[in-house]
């Protein structure tokens, strides 16, 4: 009968044969899914050996030693990994609660308070959430994973990007790790943590996949991530994570209606990083005012792939005119209004932009200012 041994066994991934020269090297650092292991490391030639139990348990696996048969069993499932990820990341997830600014709103919902979720991104108290979470509340309070409450100051809120930054005055917090934007692809596991419906449900977990990235919906200024991880009121502002516990997005909205199931959306990590960078540099997100009105094709309006550019409907200047077809901005092709916004997000220098356009069949470039 197999028996789990509670004491720590230094079981090695491969057996070290008799006569093999090995050296312990405490200077070597070993990370598993971004988490450093505090175990001795043995070097043998060009190979590094560390305890099997340390690696297995760091990955959320169950490691069992059977004394009678001198056997090691490593049992690992995705459920183990999701549970470990949720456990590791929960200290970086907060609840945000406050009072309605409007007494009519309080009466409408028969509740004096409103709440959402947020994510710590700096250890000295900086938290990212949705702008709509903090829009209509006063007496903003942040509830940490340990249950302690701290007054929060809203330092930044951008309704266009639907992102806001709150500051609490506490040190030593555990910040979330940001995923590399290019690592976020359709089909990978997505884990949502937040406070849906009630404060009694703080840091509850749902799991799904990334259904699509670079998704455009009717009211989105930038592109979004689509996920089927269950999102409910109160999850807004909380993290969408990959299996390694890295932030891939900020949960923001969902579709509801007859025949619609599990269509939720998150603000991608690249937009989150962009908003934080803009806040730290300028205190706000710099957006141009080119005094231009553009119209996208009918294909772009309904989400069909298209090579068509944007039609100039109005421009307050001499270098573009009504009917011109804009094909690129700052060297990035644009086929929809969201493409235009994304291109400027990634390239706008605060002064001008180079616009490529077609007029009477002739391609040309011009600079517009704003």
Q: Which of 44, 90, 132, 297 is catalytic?
A: 132
Q: State mean pLDDT over 243-269.
A: 89
* pLDDT of 145 strictly over 50: yes
Domains contained in the chain, CATH given:
1-76 (no CATH), 181-272 (2.40.10.10), 292-369 (2.30.42.10)
pLDDT bin (cut points 50, 70, 90) of residue 9 is: very low
Q: Which of 157, 220, 236, 253 is catalytic?
A: 236
Is-above-0.85 flag for pTM? no
* pLDDT of 19 strictly over 90: no
Q: How many CA atoms are closer than 13 Å to the CA of 80, on its beta-carbon side? A: 12
The sign one gets for the Cα dihedral 187, 185, 285, 329 is negative
Q: Which of 92, 117, 162, 324 is catalytic?
A: 162
Q: State mean pLDDT over 344-358.
A: 94
User: For the chain, what is the mean pLDDT?
Assistant: 86
* pLDDT of 190 strictly over 60: yes
Q: State mean pLDDT over 316-341.
A: 95
* pLDDT of 14 strictly over 70: no
Is 40 known to be catalytic?
Answer: no
Is 198 known to be catalytic?
Answer: no
At 56-101, the pLDDT tens digits run 777 667 778 888 887 877 776 677 788 889 999 999 999 999 998 8
What pLDDT does residue 104 have?
A: 67
Length of the chain: 370
At 267-284, the pLDDT tens digits run 999 999 999 999 999 999
Dist CA 154 CA 149 (whole Å): 16
Is 236 known to be catalytic?
Answer: yes
CA proximity to 207, closest of 58, 55, 80, 91: 80
> How deeply is 229 buried, as exposed, middle or buried, from its count of CB atoms within 10 A (0-12, 13-18, 19+)?
buried
What pLDDT does residue 11 have?
A: 39
Q: Name the DSSP class of 175.
A: P
* pLDDT of 12 strictly over 60: no
């Amino acid at each position: 009968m197999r028996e789990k041994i509670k004491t720590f066994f230094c079981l090695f991934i491969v057996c070290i044969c008799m006569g093999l020269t090995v050296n312990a090297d405490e200077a070597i650092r070993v990370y598993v899914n971004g988490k450093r292991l505090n175990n001795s490391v043995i070097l043998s030639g060009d190979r590094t050996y560390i305890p099997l139990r340390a690696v297995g348990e760091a990955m959320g696996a169950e490691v069992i030693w059977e004394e009678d048969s001198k056997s090691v069993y490593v049992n690992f499932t995705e459920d183990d990994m999701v549970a470990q990820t949720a456990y590791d990341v929960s200290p970086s997830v907060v609840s945000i609660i406050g009072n309605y600014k409007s007494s009519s709103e309080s009466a409408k919902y028969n509740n004096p308070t409103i709440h959402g979720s947020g994510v710590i991104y700096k250890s000295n108290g900086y938290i990212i959430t949705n702008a709509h979470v903090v829009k209509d509340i006063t007496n903003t309070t942040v509830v940490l994973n340990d249950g302690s409450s701290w007054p929060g100051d809203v330092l930044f809120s951008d309704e266009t990007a639907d992102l806001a930054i709150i500051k609490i005055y506490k040190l030593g917090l555990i910040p979330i790790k940001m995923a590399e934007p290019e690592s976020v692809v359709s089909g990978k596991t997505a884990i949502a943590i937040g406070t849906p419906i009630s404060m009694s449900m703080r840091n509850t977990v749902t799991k799904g996949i990334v259904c699509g990235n670079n998704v455009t919906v009717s009211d989105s200024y930038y592109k979004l991530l689509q996920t089927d991880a269950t999102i409910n009121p109160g999850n807004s502002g909380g993290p969408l994570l990959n299996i390694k516990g890295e932030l891939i997005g900020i949960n923001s909205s969902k579709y509801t209606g007859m025949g619609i199931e599990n269509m939720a959306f998150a603000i991608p990590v690249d937009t989150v990083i962009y908003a934080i960078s803009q806040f730290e540099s300028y205190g706000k997100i710099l957006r141009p005012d080119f005094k231009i009105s553009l119209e996208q094709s009918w294909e772009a309006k309904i989400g069909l792939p298209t090579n068509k550019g944007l039609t100039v409907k109005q421009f307050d200047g001499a270098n573009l005119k009504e009917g011109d077809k804009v094909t690129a901005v700052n060297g990035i092709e644009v086929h929809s209004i969201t493409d235009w916004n994304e291109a400027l997000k990634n390239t706008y220098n605060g002064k001008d932009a180079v616009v490529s356009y077609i007029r009477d069949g002739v391609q040309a470039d011009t600079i517009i200012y704003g």
